Amino acid sequence: MDKLLVHGPCKLNGTVKISRAKNAYLPILAAVLLSDKKIHLKNIPELQDIKTMIKLLQNLGVTVTKNGNITTFDASTLNSHEATYDLVKTMRASIFVLGPLLARLKKAKVSLPGGCAIGTRPIDIHLTNLEKMGCVIHLTGGYVEASVPKMKAAHLLLSFPSVGATENLMMAAVFAEGTTTIDNAALEPEIDDLAHFINAMGGNVKGIGTKKIEVTGVKELKEATYEAIGDRIEAATYLMAALATGSDVRIEEVDPAHLEFVTELLKKMGAKIETGANYIKVEKSVLKGCHVDTAPFPGFPTDAQAQLIALCTQVKGSSVISENIFENRFMHVPELIRLGAAITLKGKSAFIEGEAKLSSAPIMCTDLRASAALIIAALCATGTTEIQRVYHLDRGYENLVDKLKTLGANVERIK
Ligand code: UD1
């Protein structure tokens, strides 16, 4: 298994280009199943989760060809409605194929994703609302088996603004006769992106960017070309790495509006941040602690909580960060403590003392974003930190080592 060696402390300097968002492309790839016309997607990031989703599409019969930075998907060859356990168990986002398979084939058999490192993550909101659209669902042998004689437009009210459920239901409604309303929909930018993609394919989604999304069924879709938004969580990670290491970094190809809560919080902490149409520039700053709760968009993203904790170990004063989205999302904390951080966990809050003198230790990645926090801390720590289980990072950070090296970090990956 590969390891990362971070020879710290490191200063970063220069420009980093952000990849297209994993969490935008995962549902967009699933939505490819809706169409029997060719779909051309630009700059799909080379990430393990994306490879898993593409493999899942190929297993379902989709033909995939790559030409330069454009990958073409032809789902006219779709010949299966079954997403098997061997792929689904490695990536929860496989559940995204449920809605489009039901919309296109009127049947789907998708393995239940099960729990994951950060929490139990049920899919009840996906399933109860699909039932409201006329789907008949049975859970048998670890699989969701669903069929629908005719998908019905319906008024859906989500009990929580689940990102995945909003996306799955939006895709399920693309051909349903009439208008489906998804009330209390999630507001994350990746949802807007999926809606824009569905519209680019000839679908009819309105209320984009609001809590009430309306999907009016269409008879057929058309050939389309699309490129997803920049990855706001990757950008937040580089932003916090720059601030933690007292560096000047320009982060390009991301929409700063997608990170407004994060940049406003960091500015209140003392960060010198400038934003433009497609970039965020950060300068070496003296920061103080913060009190923040993770929340659905436009609040502070749970996917940047671990990285913020790592940053808060380096600021002046103490911080309190509470996790409200997932029940078990502090696995980075014991690893950060191994590097010398002073953090106490109480219930869903982490209490962090700043100005910790971090020094190297062998540490281990536990999930994707926890791993990003460990990299930030290792960049601040004195000595060589060995980070194990880097496959977690491969799920969500494209060219991480190269990007960090371009910024001047002394980082290497060893087999
Ligand atoms: C998506 C993101 C993930 C991010 C999360 C919250 C993708 C591929 N993943 O995950 O990176 O951390 O949004 O921003 O886009 N819930 C239920 N029942 C359901 C669905 C969700 O109880 O049917 C709960 C979950 O257990 C969790 C909360 O709702 O506690 C939020 O989950 P959700 O918004 O659905 O996140 P995901 O779509 O899984």
Q: Tell which one of 162, 322, 329 to mutate to probe ligand 1, the residue whose CB is within 8 A of the most ligand atoms.
A: 162
Write out pLDDT tens, residues 129-157: 999 999 999 999 889 999 999 999 999 99
Would the pLDDT of 206 be above 60?
yes
SS (H, E, C) 66-132: EECCEEEEEHHHCCCCEECHHHHCCCHHHHHHHHHHHHHHCEEEEECCCCECCECCCCHHHHHHHHH
Omega within 30 of 0 (cis) for the link into 298: yes
Q: Annotate 146-167 with DSSP letters as a single string.
A: EE-SSPBP-EEE-SS--HHHHH
HSE (side-chain half, CA atoms, 13 Å) at 234? 30
Please work out, in degrees rounded to the nearest 5, the angle formed at the alpha carbon of residue 153 by the alpha carbons of 150 and 155.
140
pLDDT of residue 88: 85
Ligand 1 pocket, residue 123 CB under 6 Å:
yes
Whether 135 is a known active-site residue: answer: no
Tens-digit pLDDT profile for residues 210-251: 999 999 999 999 999 999 999 999 999 999 999 999 999 999
For residue 83, what are its two tokens? 């997403």
Choose, from 116, 312, 365, 380, the residue flagged as catalytic.
116
pLDDT at res. 305 = 98
Please tell me the predicted confidence (pLDDT) of residue 360. Answer: 97
Question: For 163-171, what is the mean pLDDT?
Answer: 98
Q: What average pLDDT does the structure give for the chain?
A: 96
Cα 17 to averaged position of ligand 1 atoms, centre (Å): 27
- Cβ burial 326-352 (10 Å sphere, 16+ → b, else e): beebbbbbebbbbbbbebeeeebbbeb
pLDDT at 116 over 70: no
Burial class (CB in 10 A: 0-12, 13-18, 19+), 291: exposed
pLDDT of residue 341 exceeding 80, the answer is yes
Q: Answer whether 172's CB lies under 8 Å from 104's CB.
A: no
Which residue owns the Cα nearest ligand 1 atom 19?
123
Distances (CA, A) of 97 to 82, 132, 346: 9, 18, 37
Residue 115 scores a pLDDT above 60: no
Instruction: Give dist(CA 283, CA 333) in Å, integer.
Output: 27
325 Cβ below 6 A of ligand 1: yes
User: Ligand 1, atom 7: nearest CA belongs to which residue?
Assistant: 23
Q: Give 378-400 pLDDT, tens digit per residue.
A: 999 999 999 999 999 999 999 99
Whole-angstrom distance, CA of residue 281 vs CA of residue 377: 21
Mean pLDDT, range 246-266, rounded to an integer: 98
30 ligand 1 Cβ < 6 A: no
First to last CA, the chain: 6
Residue nearest to atom 22 of ligand 1 (CA): 122
Token pair of 335, please?
């690893």
Is the pLDDT at 118 greater than 90? The verdict is: no
Using 50, 70 and 90 to split pLDDT, how confident is the model at 85?
A: confident
Report the pLDDT value the prediction gives residue 121, as an integer from 0 to 100. Answer: 76
ω into 9 cis (within 30 of 0): yes
Q: Is the CB of 307 under 6 A from ligand 1?
A: no
Verdict on whether the full-model pTM lies above 0.95:
yes
Q: In the predicted model, what is the mean pLDDT of residues 280-302?
A: 98
- Indicate if the pLDDT at residue 53 is higher than 80: yes
Q: Quick one: pLDDT at residue 117? A: 67
Q: Is 115 near ligand 1, meaning CB less than 6 Å away?
A: no
The token pair that represents 141 in the structure block: 């042998």
pLDDT of 50 > 80? The answer is: yes
The rounded Å distance from CA 12 to ligand 1 centre is: 33
- Give the ligand 1 atom nearest the CA of 96: 8
% of the chain surpassing 90 pLDDT:
93
Tokens of 254: 């991301």
